[in-house]
């Protein structure tokens, strides 16, 4: 859209702007590793039930099946690099089971370069393009990689695999896959065993020759992606058997290597691989970006019956993948993207965030809640029978600790210090707590919620509970059962604000009210004294422009109606009687003193102010002082006054 046939393009052309705007943002950050990948959908079927080993629902019955999504990848190259470099291949499987997504994020090599997650960024930095020159792309044949490797003897086993023909596969359909780490199977009795996962290609394992791989890179950089796509398209569905090596701690303890060390494999001759399922890839993606690119694999996606071990490499991964998806997909709600969303019902109290697409109903978005007691939707509950629970005993050598979702015994004392706090307050402060509770609970509409809180107050202080119950006009409920009986601690003055009040003017703000005819010298003297003591004086008058006072003219900092006494820590007034008389018909002026009095502030005044004080019902007390005594009295709350302005019962 332009102004005239050959005129300037109009900003109004939202069609142009929206199209270009969207195009400008079509890319997301590529994966820091495994950037180049190819994905496909399929199905997994259990071919042998293993309920003795795991309670995972998918393995309970032969024939159980679930949809899967698989993404194969190279590790070092960028998203647009070639398919056939010498490299490890990623073999990431997402199984959408009926108890949630299980992501088995493995490689085509059963061991890894490093033993501990701490070294992963170093490994990846060393193999990627060199930092200054930005090359080589998708290749490990360069200084920094081999420098790092030479300094990391633990990498040598993996190097054997990476330098073997395994690292130049003929086809993605002809690669083995490995979970690499020792994972754990947990059965319904709660017994745990170690498990290593293997994917065995039905087509067998096949590799290229190095010379071939190099030539293919030029002839068809998409060799593997094309091969996978075309095979599935032609109905020639690739398949893998899922095998497991299962062993226990006693067996592990006998081995000359640590089963938690990801640079070690378990020879199949020692523990045979038992086949328990078969995966068939039978559907290409409809949209590469929406599915393959947005697929977010997380080793933390596990299901009841499968658990982690203390493998330090695995433990690091448990953090890393969640974190990386946030930066790659831009939002904590990446789970909601169709390729990542579970295909079984799921519930949680996670809410909001960028790109939220779900519209949860009801007000239950926290746990615990008792909304259901009032017939409201209370939301999901943790279910120890069907939900995920962590395997408690780590069971590994030198690790006597138990993983428990618990709090230590003494944490069960919930009341002793609440009682200490309440009992350390002055009478006024206790009254404030009681009225705050009455106010808050009076706003609560769910009767049982209100009653439950009062029943808990009885564990803190019986009089407090009684006061609140009386304030709400409800009968005192039964005392809530305390997990641990509270003890009486010695009250502490440091917990009370009032017991520490010192009357200082430092940092405090004093409002000084004046009007026509007020004594400028007295105002200046008061202001000077306040400032000298570190406070601020703020002049308030019915009008802000300069007004005639005794001794000259004076400008106010704020107009009376716009400068209520709540803005000040204390107030003072220097007024001629006729002006005070006049102001006593002025709501803002009367309220000024009424509030200051009601809020227990120091009120310093000259004699002339009296008519206004009378109108505001300001009664004499130790906080209502002649103007000359203001600096001596200081800025504090005169709590002794409070029972006269408020019912503290």
List residues with catalytic annotation. 34, 107
Contact with ligand HDE (CB under 6 A) among 280, 320, 455, 496:
320
Q: Find the radius of gyration of the CA atoms of the chain.
A: 38
Closest distance of CB 73 from ligand HDE, Å: 5
Q: Which residue is nearest to ligand HDE (CB)?
A: 90
Contact with ligand HDE (CB under 6 A) among 138, 213, 295, 453:
295
On whether the CB atoms of residues 244 and 195 are closer than 8 A, the answer is yes
Contact between 34 and ligand HDE per CB under 6 A: yes
- In what helix (H) or strand (E) does residue 521 lie, and over which residues does it extend? helix 520-532
Contact between 539 and ligand HDE per CB under 6 A: no
Specify the length of the chain in residues: 649
Q: CA 134, 135, 136: angle at the middle one, nearest 5?
A: 155
String of contacts with ligand HDE for each residue 458-497, x by CB under 6 A: ----------------------------------------
Supply 614's token pair.
């009378």
Contact between 32 and ligand HDE per CB under 6 A: yes
Segment lying near ligand HDE (by CB under 6 A), choices 47-55, 270-278, 309-317, 617-625: 309-317
Segment lying near ligand HDE (by CB under 6 A), choices 100-108, 216-224, 225-233, 460-468: 100-108
Q: Which is nearer to ligand HDE, 99 or 325 (by Cβ)?
A: 325
Prior bond of 368 cis (ω within 30°): yes
Measured distance CA(263)–CA(113) in Å, rounded: 6
Q: Which is nearer to ligand HDE, 148 or 415 (by Cβ)?
A: 148
Contact between 90 and ligand HDE per CB under 6 A: yes
Q: Which is nearer to ligand HDE, 232 or 469 (by Cβ)?
A: 232
| Residue 490 per-residue DSSP state | P
Measured distance CA(95)–CA(106) in Å, rounded: 13
Closest distance of CB 218 from ligand HDE, Å: 26
Contact between 317 and ligand HDE per CB under 6 A: yes
Contact between 158 and ligand HDE per CB under 6 A: no
Supply 350's token pair.
């996670």
Measured distance CA(460)–CA(419) in Å, rounded: 5
Window 54 to 83, contacts with ligand HDE (CB under 6 A): 71, 73
Q: Which is nearer to ligand HDE, 336 or 504 (by Cβ)?
A: 336
String of contacts with ligand HDE for each residue 255-274, x by CB under 6 A: -------x------------
Instruction: Give the annotated binding-site residues for heme.
Output: 31, 71, 120, 317, 321, 328
Helices then strands, counting H and E runs in the chain, come out as 18, 18
Contact between 37 and ligand HDE per CB under 6 A: yes
For residue 401, the number of C-alpha atoms closer than 13 Å in the C-beta half-sphere is 6
Closest distance of CB 171 from ligand HDE, Å: 17
Measured distance CA(224)–CA(228) in Å, rounded: 6
Q: Which is nearer to ligand HDE, 73 or 602 (by Cβ)?
A: 73
Contact with ligand HDE (CB under 6 A) among 40, 117, 468, 541:
117
Contact with ligand HDE (CB under 6 A) among 64, 74, 97, 107:
107
Contact with ligand HDE (CB under 6 A) among 76, 95, 105, 571:
105
Q: CA 319, 322, 328: angle at the middle one, nearest 5?
A: 130
Contact between 324 and ligand HDE per CB under 6 A: yes
Residues 486-494: contacts with CB under 8 Å, at least 24 apart: 486/413, 486/414, 486/415, 486/416, 486/418, 486/419, 486/459, 486/460, 487/413, 487/416, 488/416, 488/419, 489/416, 489/417, 489/419, 489/420, 490/420, 491/420, 491/423, 491/424, 492/420, 492/424, 493/424, 494/424
Residues 540-544: contacts with CB under 8 Å, at least 24 apart: 540/511, 540/512, 540/513, 540/514, 540/592, 541/513, 541/514, 541/515, 542/515, 542/583, 542/586, 542/589
Q: Which is nearer to ligand HDE, 194 or 597 (by Cβ)?
A: 194
Measured distance CA(187)–CA(182) in Å, rounded: 16
Contact with ligand HDE (CB under 6 A) among 44, 59, 185, 297:
297
Which positions touch ligand HDE (CB under 6 A)? 31-34, 37, 71, 73, 90, 92, 105-107, 112, 117, 120, 180, 262, 295, 297, 313, 316-317, 320-321, 324-325
């Amino acid at each position: 859209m332009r102004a005239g046939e050959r005129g300037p393009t109009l900003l109004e052309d939202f069609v142009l702007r929206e199209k270009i705007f969207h195009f400008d943002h079509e890319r997301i950050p590529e994966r820091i590793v495994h950037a180049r990948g190819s994905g496909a959908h399929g199905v997994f079927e259990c071919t042998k039930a293993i309920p003795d080993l795991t309670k995972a629902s998918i393995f309970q019955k032969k024939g159980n099946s679930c949809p899967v999504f698989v993404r194969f990848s190279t590790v070092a190259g960028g998203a647009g690099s070639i398919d056939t470099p010498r490299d490890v291949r990623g073999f990431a499987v997402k199984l959408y089971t009926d108890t949630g997504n299980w992501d088995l994020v493995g490689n085509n090599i059963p061991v890894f370069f490093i033993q501990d997650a701490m070294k992963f960024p170093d490994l990846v930095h060393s193999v990627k393009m060199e930092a200054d020159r930005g090359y080589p792309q998708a290749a490990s044949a360069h200084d920094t990689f081999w420098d790092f490797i030479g300094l990391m003897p633990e990498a040598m086993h993996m190097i054997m695999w990476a330098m073997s023909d395994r690292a130049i596969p003929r086809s993605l359909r002809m690669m083995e896959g490995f979970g690499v780490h020792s994972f754990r199977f947990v059965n319904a009795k709660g017994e745990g065993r170690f498990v290593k996962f293997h994917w065995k290609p039905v087509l067998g394992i096949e590799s290229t020759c190095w010379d071939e791989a190099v030539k293919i890179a030029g002839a068809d950089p998409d060799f593997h992606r094309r091969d996978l796509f075309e095979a599935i398209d032609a109905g020639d569905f690739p398949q893998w058997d899922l095998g497991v090596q299962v062993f226990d701690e006693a067996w592990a303890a006998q081995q000359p290597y640590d089963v938690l060390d990801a640079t070690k494999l378990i020879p199949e001759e020692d523990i045979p691989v038992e086949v328990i399922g078969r995966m068939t890839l039978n559907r290409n993606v409809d949209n590469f970006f929406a599915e393959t690119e947005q697929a977010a694999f997380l080793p933390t996606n596990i299901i009841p019956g499968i658990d982690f071990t203390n493998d330090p490499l695995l433990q690091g991964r448990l953090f890393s993948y969640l974190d990386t998806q946030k930066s790659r997909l831009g939002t904590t709600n990446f789970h909601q993207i169709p390729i990542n969303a579970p295909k079984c019902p799921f519930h949680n109290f996670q809410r909001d965030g960028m790109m939220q697409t779900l519209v949860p109903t009801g007000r239950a978005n926290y746990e615990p809640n008792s909304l259901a007691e009032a017939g409201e939707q209370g939301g999901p509950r943790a279910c120890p029978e069907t939900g995920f629970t962590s395997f408690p005993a780590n069971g590994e050598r030198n690790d006597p600790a138990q993983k428990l979702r618990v709090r230590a015994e003494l944490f069960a004392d919930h009341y002793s210090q609440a009682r200490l706090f309440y009992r350390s307050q002055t009478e006024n402060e206790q009254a404030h707590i009681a009225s705050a509770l009455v106010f808050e609970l009076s706003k609560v509409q769910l009767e049982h919620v209100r009653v439950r809180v009062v029943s808990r107050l009885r564990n803190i202080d019986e009089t407090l509970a009684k006061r609140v119950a009386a304030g709400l006009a409800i009968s005192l409920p039964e005392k809530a059962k305390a997990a641990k009986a509270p003890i009486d601690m010695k009250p502490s003055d440091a917990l009370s604000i009032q017991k520490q009040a010192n009357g200082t003017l430092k940092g405090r703000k004093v409002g000084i009210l004046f009007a026509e005819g007020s004594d400028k010298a007295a105002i200046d003297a008061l202001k000077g004294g306040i400032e000298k003591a570190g406070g601020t004086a703020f002049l308030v008058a019915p009008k802000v422009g300069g007004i005639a006072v005794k001794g000259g003219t004076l400008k106010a900092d704020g107009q009376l109606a716009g400068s209520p006494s709540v803005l000040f820590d204390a107030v003072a007034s220097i007024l001629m009687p006729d002006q005070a008389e006049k102001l006593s018909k002025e709501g803002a002026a009367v309220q000024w003193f009424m509030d200051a009095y009601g809020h227990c502030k120091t009120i310093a005044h000259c004699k002339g102010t009296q008519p206004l004080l009378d109108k505001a019902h300001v009664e004499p007390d130790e906080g209502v002082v002649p103007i000359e005594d203001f600096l001596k009295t200081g800025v504090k709350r005169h709590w002794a006054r409070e029972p006269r302005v408020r019912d503290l019962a």
